[in-house]
Every structure is written in structure tokens, then in C-alpha cells.
Structure 1
């Protein structure tokens, strides 16, 4: 992973501020107060270890942006900062192959810089599709996106873009012109909205100044945003960032709502959604297990609730490793649920018994003490289209496992249609 950020800034206060922002992003600042010092530091390190460089336009030994040329020529994504707000300086900087240009005019600029640094690592896994019949605009937008480490797919037509979306699930943004060879941009947007919500895929429309109403047409057709041509570097990248972050924020809220805060497993609500929506037609061969920790109250009473939390986390981790292709949930308290679609009676019993035995021999460190936990498992393998029937049957088997002495698995293999 690229952990280093080269910071070239002769103002000590600015150097400290940018270094703190780099640390905040979980990265390591490599500080230099001049181009000469930067050259020496860079020569001593592995070039591939640098995620990016934050470079001041004017330095004592590089007064006209020579440090920018150094980092760009070294193939380091370069963010330029400057106290000069003149248009001529901006144009000169943006003519170079830089990530972005940031005038140091207020405190909010540093917040933007922090987001930009974080994005350069995150963008490596995010796909963006650029769709335009105009080669010059398409190449220009693709170039800007590549500088920000996005995975870019450049397409001539709507159908080519749809083929890319069908193949690559990591695409989060589509940027489309209106004049496409196979359909209009607004028709394309409307078509995409049948398959993707605004929370799943962001869409930005683009058109020249002659199409004054195109912004409204695109938005009404389902686009998240709109840009007028010609593209302005800063506006384009700010809007791209905002739309990507919108989708990420919605994803984060959804994960928080569907995830158990302690173990990181899906919660009960997400379990029912997954089984009843993702598996709308339950398979004839299936199993559902309820896993309940034995004597969990004694662990809390003896070692404290922090110990109980550590046991639950350990169980959650072991469940994820043991059932990575199945549907898991923490149902609440010390109770977990595992749904195993397309598993025979014997396959389900074998996987669950392997888990039970593994848990019993897993040491759990509680301070200086080592404790062990066990569980009782009730399994239902009845053929039914009703998840509630499966749960009730598994609960009955769990009760049986408890009454028989705990730390064991009980399974009802009787085929019953509900």
C-alpha cells in the first residue's frame, strides 16, 4: 500500500498543517522545505511508496512551479497549493498534469485537501464510466479522472456503457453526453434508472451552453447532477467527489442500520431482509441453525461485561470464517443465526458441528486469564417457504440441545411442508 505523501512547503506553519492532515488520513508525511531537499529525500525512498505529493507553487529554489515538474515527472500524483490567486498562475498550473490546484485562501481549503488525499487511495477501487461521442471531451474527462486514481471506462455509446456496467459492479458514477449515437443522453439516464437507484449509481449529464434546458431534462430523467461544457477543472472534480461521497455516505448509513455494532455481523432485521428478499424463493434443500452460547451469564458475572463482549466478538469472527458463503446474523444477546441455502441435512450438520468443536477449543484472552466458551445449536432442515417455520423448528431443536446438557447439536431432519 502507498503510505507516504511528499509534502514540499517552505512555510513552516503550512508544512505543519499539511503534515497533520496527512497523519489524519492515516498516511505518513515526508517533509521537505525546498525542491533540493525533496530531491534528496525522494532519492532515498522507494518511488512506488508515495500515494501523492502536496507541493507549494513557489519555493526558495523553485519560484515558478519547478517543484511541480519534478513530482509530475516522477509520476507522483501532485496536488498544488499556492497563495497566489491570479488567473495566470492557475492556468499555468492546470496546464500541467496535476491532480488539483488549491489556493490557500481560507481554512475550508484544508478540509478539502484532507478529503482529496483520502480519496486518492479510496478511488483505486471505484469505477467511473465516461460516455460521449466527442473524443476530445471524453479523453479530457478520462484524463482528469485517471489523475484521481479512478478506474475509468471510456465509451462511445449508451450500449457500450451498459455492457461495462453489467461486467463491473464497482462502477459508482456515469458521466454522459446527450448526443450519443444510439440514443439520447436523457433516454440513457432513464434506462439506467430502471436498474439502479440514485443511491446505487450516480449519474452526471453534460451538454454545451446551447442546450440551456438540458440540465432540467437530465435531472428530470433521473440524473444526480449536471455540468456545462466546456469543463472547468475544479468544478468537474468537486462535483465528481460530491456524487461519489453521496453514495458512500448512504452505504455507510445503510451498513450501520443493518449491522450489529459489537460483532460486525448483520443484525436481525438485515437477516430477514436478506432471506426474504435476496432469497425470494427458498430452495427445497436448506438448513437454518440457531447458535446459543452456554452459561453466558456466568461469564459476565465472573469476568465482567467487557469479557462477555470479547466472547461475542470471538464467536462473531469464528462464524464469519466458518460460514463466509452463508447468511449470518446476531439475533440478540448471546444468540446467533445461520441460514444455509442449498445444503443437505448432512452438509449442514457437518459444517455446524465443525464450528461447535472449533469454538470449544478457541482460547479467549480476558486480561491475563484465558477462558473457553461453548455453544448449543438447534438446526432445522425442513422443506418450507416460510422462514418463520424454519426458525420455530430450529428453536425447538435448540431447546432440546440445552435440556440434554448443552455443548451439542440437535437437528430435526424430518421433511415437512408448511
Structure 2
């Protein structure tokens, strides 16, 4: 578990913020009250184990903000606590690339700190693409975002960014300049919106132009926000990025909750039908080979009764990983409920189906699932339908009949529908 370092001479505040952090986040809190104590601690502590620090700007033995410089030297992400802010102090602390500053007298201070720390935990998983044909601008933006631990990708050619977005779907935000040689920011924004909705990817437009219409036009063409290059404050920039990426992440969470099984992360039954219905109709229309399989963990109730539901959940999760890692990207795997899974594969013939499912059966049988030192081994039974049926439900129903036969005739086996007889020649 990583640590949050708090440097503040107020014992009351240290106790309060420690309580809030440990209740809300997976962190341990280390508190000291002076600059000297913090310096001595950092000399013996592994810096890699400190995820961030909260420091009071004015300490008894360092009243001029010297603690901020110390944390910058150690390259620890820093949130500065201050009783009152002036332009002079603000400019001084931002010089050290802090994460943020917080006014201590504000009643919202602890909630804001928790939100900021939560973002620092999440941000390393967030990718932001930067589009600007100025290498200097790209470097400045990337440096700013790295302070908040975002991943950044830099593109001085917007056409290359578009190509990247077509191939990779893990970008959560694009920040684009207007003036670019290959394509201006308006056209880039419109092109991105043809690929991604606002719920899927946020766009912030930027420009150094003194044009009052620039902001409105960016928003009309699909951007979510706009920043004037030469006049934005770092704290404003961070808040705009945080608000817009948070919206995309929240939508992603809602989508995941609606489409994925909460335990295994596989598609749930409802989403399976949403994905497969179109695939199935197309395969039937073009006479493409199909394999639809139902997979059931043998004697799963016995696993739960013997080891408990926590071990049972771990077994389900491991089997799900095996199934998902065995198939192609074009195939669909879902948890149908309990210990039953469904696999739908297009473009696989009878011979390859037999080889694939036999290998899958043996892989599960030979896997020892390690759960906190306890080794559990299970087997599976598989029913496979590789004949064409115009109705998807009928295809799954026949796969279920094959699964029933596999379980009734010994388990740990694959039963595949017999080959359909060819029509007799006249």
C-alpha cells in the first residue's frame, strides 16, 4: 500500500485529513509537523512509496514555502495548503509544478483534497492525445499533464492522429490547436466526431488567435470546451481537463455496468445478444460457418460447499480469463449466469471446432487455480452447435442439449452436434 505524506503543524488538521483519506482511499497516511521532520523522513523513506503529499505553505521552521521546493526536488506530486492566496504566492508555488493549491479556510477543503487524490489514482490510466504542429506547445502541454499523471500522445500532424483514433480506442480526450497546416482544429473536431461521440471521447479546442467566435465555433463543431492559449491559468486548465475526462470515465462505467458481468468482466447475457444478433444474421445470410458453445463448470456447487463462495468466485473469474484468452477478437464470450458461459464464433468449420474445444477442455483440466496458496482444479463440459439455424435462440438451445448430453455421459467432455446429412442426389 502506498503512502500520502502530510506536512502540517496542525495536529487537528492532520488527524482530520488522515481519517478522510483512509476512509475514502487505499492509502496509508504519514504525518509530520515541520520542515526538518519531513526532510529527515524523506532521507530514509523510499520515495517511490509516496504517491503524493499535502504540505502547509507556512511551517514553523519554513514560513516562506520552502517545503514546496523540497517536494519538487524529490519529484513528489504536491498539493499545497494555504490560509490565503496572493498573486505573488500563487506564482511562486506554480513555479515548482505543483498538482494544486487549496485554501485551508474553505469548508470544502477536505472533499476537494480527496477528489484530487482520487484523480491522481485514476489519471495514469487516462490517455490524452495532443494535436499541435508546434513542438514547443506539445512539450508544454505534455509537461503540464504529466504533473497530474496523465498519459499523453503527441501529434504534430492531425491526419496521423485521426489514423491513430481509427486503430486505437483507448484515447479519452483530444486537445487540439486551431492553426495546423494539414487540417485546422475545426475540421479535426468534426472528423473525430464522426468516429466518437461526446460520451466516448472529450475534445478541448485551443487557439492563440484573438477571435471572439473561436470558442463558439469549436463548440458547434463538437468540442466540449475551449481554452485561449496565451491567457489560461494552470489550475483552470487542470480543472477543465478533469471535468471533461471524468464525464467520459463515468459514461464508460455506466456502459460497463450495463453490458459486463460484474464478477468476471465478460459480456453479460443481454449484451451477448446485442452483439451476436447482427453477427448471426450476417453469417446465416452468407452461409458462413458458425460455432455456438455452452460451457459449464463441472461440480461447481461442490467447490462452493467445500471451499466457500470466495473461492468459487475466484474459480469463475479464472475460467472466464481462460475462455476469453482462447478466442479471437472477433469472437464473443459471455457469462450466461451461475457457472455457465456462452461462446459464439464465426468462420470456424467443424474440423477446427473439434480441435479448438478439445484444446480448451484440456487447458482447463490442466490448470491449477491458485487462491491464496490453495490450489483448486476443475473441469468443464462443453456443448457445441456448429449447424446453421436461422434463429439464434434455436442455435443456443441445441448447444444446451449437447451440453446436457456431455454432463449426463461423464462430464469433462465436448459434445458437438452431428454433421447434417447432405441432400441425396436425384
TM-score, normalised via structure 1 length:
0.84
User: CA shift at 1:269, angstroms?
Assistant: 1.5
Indicate whether 1:411 and 2:419 are aligned.
no
Deviations 1:248-284 (A, max 9, x none): 1111111111123354432111222333457885594
- For 1:22 and 1:291, the matched residues in 2 are separated by 43
- For 1:157 and 1:331, the matched residues in 2 are separated by 45
> 1:354 — aligned with what?
362
Q: Is the 8 A contact 1:375 1:407 kept in 2?
A: yes
- For 1:412 and 1:183, the matched residues in 2 are separated by 56
Q: Is the 8 A contact 2:7 2:56 kept in 1?
A: yes
Q: Is the 8 A contact 1:296 1:308 kept in 2?
A: no
Matches for 1:12-411 after TM superposition, within 5 Å: 12-23=11-22, 24-133=24-133, 137-165=137-165, 169-208=169-208, 210-229=210-229, 230-276=231-277, 282=283, 284-292=288-296, 303=305, 311=312, 314-326=315-327, 327-341=332-346, 343=348, 344-354=352-362, 357=365, 376-382=381-387, 387-404=392-409, 408-411=413-416
Name structure 1 gaps, 5 residues minimum. Answer: none
- For 2:262 and 2:380, the matched residues in 1 are separated by 21
Q: Is the 8 A contact 1:80 1:102 kept in 2?
A: yes
Q: 1:395 to 1:113 in 2, by over 3 A?
A: same
Deviations 1:188-223 (A, max 9, x none): 100111111212211011235732222221111111
SS in 1 for 2:195: coil
Q: Is the 8 A contact 2:384 2:417 kept in 1?
A: yes
Q: 1:157 to 1:114 in 2, by over 3 A?
A: same
- For 2:176 and 2:338, the matched residues in 1 are separated by 49
Deviations 1:81-127 (A, max 9, x none): 11123232222212222122222232323222222222223322322
SS in 2 for 1:324: helix
Q: 37-46 or 148-157: which moved more? A: 148-157
Q: Is the 8 A contact 1:383 1:415 kept in 2?
A: no
Root-mean-square deviation (CA, aligned residues, Å) is: 3.5
Deviations 1:142-192 (A, max 9, x none): 221121111223333422433554565432111112222222211110011
User: CA shift at 1:64, angstroms?
Assistant: 0.8
Q: 310-319 or 109-118: which moved more? A: 310-319
Q: 276-285 or 112-121: which moved more? A: 276-285
Aligned residues: 409
Name structure 2 gaps, 5 residues minimum. Answer: none
Deviations 1:213-234 (A, max 9, x none): 2222111111122223411111
Q: Is the 8 A contact 2:173 2:202 kept in 1?
A: yes
- For 1:261 and 1:136, the matched residues in 2 are separated by 44
User: CA shift at 1:308, angstroms?
Assistant: 6.5
Q: 327-336 or 52-61: which moved more? A: 327-336
Q: Is the 8 A contact 1:263 1:313 kept in 2?
A: no
Q: 1:416 to 1:325 in 2, by over 3 A?
A: farther
User: CA shift at 1:69, angstroms?
Assistant: 0.5
Q: Is the 8 A contact 2:314 2:371 kept in 1?
A: no
- For 2:420 and 2:248, the matched residues in 1 are separated by 44
- For 2:383 and 2:189, the matched residues in 1 are separated by 49
- For 1:200 and 1:85, the matched residues in 2 are separated by 37
- For 1:333 and 1:168, the matched residues in 2 are separated by 33
